[in-house]
Amino acid sequence: MKPLTNAKTMPVSSARPALTRPPTAEERRRAQRVLLRISVLVHVAGKPPIQGRTHTVSASGAMIVMSEPLAEGTKVTIENTKTQNRVEAKVVRPPQTTSDGSLVPVEFSTPSPVFWNVFFPPSIN
């Protein structure tokens, strides 16, 4: 059998294409996010607790839907109303206003993967 001489050589695809492209937003995240609705109380110094519910959670924080916005940099204590556990956090970006209320992004002072009573799989990055 005669070998093909005019055959075009195909580039060998990399086994790890993620190494040759910029990381996606999901890959840049420090912690995996999970859509989870949990009732929370947001404690702010000098104010009565504000009721809210989570939109998404992670080992390092949450996006909380609340009736009123909180300014970026506000220090808060988040209370999981089901477990009564509390964790210190701060508002990391200005809230977004939606028809459901204000979406307030908070980051825990220290990562707390067991706070939400959810198992977060390890990162595969």
- Kindly report, residue by residue over 6-29, the tens digit of the pLDDT: 655 555 555 555 567 665 554 454
Check whether 64 has a pLDDT greater than 80: yes
Domain assignment of residue 45, given as a range: 30-108
Whether 97 maps to a domain, the answer reads: yes
Whether 12 maps to a domain, the answer reads: no
CATH of the domain at 44: 2.40.10.220
Residues 29-47 pLDDT 10s: 455 788 999 999 999 999 9
Residues 44-63 pLDDT 10s: 999 999 999 999 999 999 99
Whether 82 maps to a domain, the answer reads: yes
Whether 1 maps to a domain, the answer reads: no
pLDDT score, position 20: 73
Whether 17 maps to a domain, the answer reads: no
Q: Following DSSP, what letter does each residue of the chain receive, concatenated?
A: -PPPSSPPPPPPPPS-GGGGSPPPHHHH-SS--EE---EEEEE-TTS--EEEEEEEEETTEEEEEESS---TT-EEEEEETTT--EEEEEE-S--EEETTEEEEEEEESS--TTTTS-PPPPP--
pTM of the model: 0.73
Whether 11 maps to a domain, the answer reads: no
Whether 60 maps to a domain, the answer reads: yes
Residue 125's pLDDT band, with cuts at 50, 70 and 90, is low
Number of domains in the chain: 1
Whether 87 maps to a domain, the answer reads: yes
